[in-house]
Amino acid sequence: MIGRLNHIAIAVPDLAAAAALYRDTLGAKVSAPADLPEHGVTTVFVELENSKIELLHPLGENSTIAKYLERSPDGGTHHICFEVADIIAARDQLRAEGARVLGDGEPRIGAHGKPVLFLHPKDFCGTLIEIEQV
Ligand code: CO
């Protein structure tokens, strides 16, 4: 069902420092910060040859990233995102397998303008999984 790894998202307490780390220390191509108010995050995209890293920083109140950073002040891997061809078919198949889909189960438009859903980390080895229709 899942296709390529679309991105790994890392929550960071200092977005400028994290962007500089990926740009200067690791020598990666790094975007300018982008605010996504509907998701409660400011993101920096790191372009890799075979995938992407998304650096996530809280934006506004009630950001889930802020809650994550309260538990992990140094930051850490927040979720990983796999591509799927048909998000509704993937959702229905995952539910049939007993996986919990977060929220109301209806895809939302994610950071890349494509429909996404999130799967409960307790069902996936403690890792929050995002699926994105590409
Ligand atoms: Co994501």
- Where do we find the tokens 């307790």? 122
Which residues have C-beta under 5 Å from ligand 1, the single-atom ion?
9, 81, 130
pLDDT of residue 2: 97
**Which H/E stretch holds residue 70?**
helix 64-71
- Does CATH place domain 5-133 in 3.10.180.10? yes
CA–centroid distance, 111 to ligand 1, in Å, is 7
Whether 97 sits among the annotated catalytic residues: the reply is no
The tens digit of pLDDT for each residue in 38-56 reads 889 999 999 999 999 999 9
C-alpha of residue 12 to centroid of ligand 1, in Å: 14
Centre of ligand 1 to C-alpha 24, Å, is 23
Given a contact cutoff of 8 angstroms between Cβ atoms, the answer to whether 69 and 78 are in contact is: no
Residues 57 and 40: their CA atoms lie apart, in Å, by: 8
- Which whole number is the average pLDDT over 66-87? 97
Residue 98: per-residue pLDDT:
97
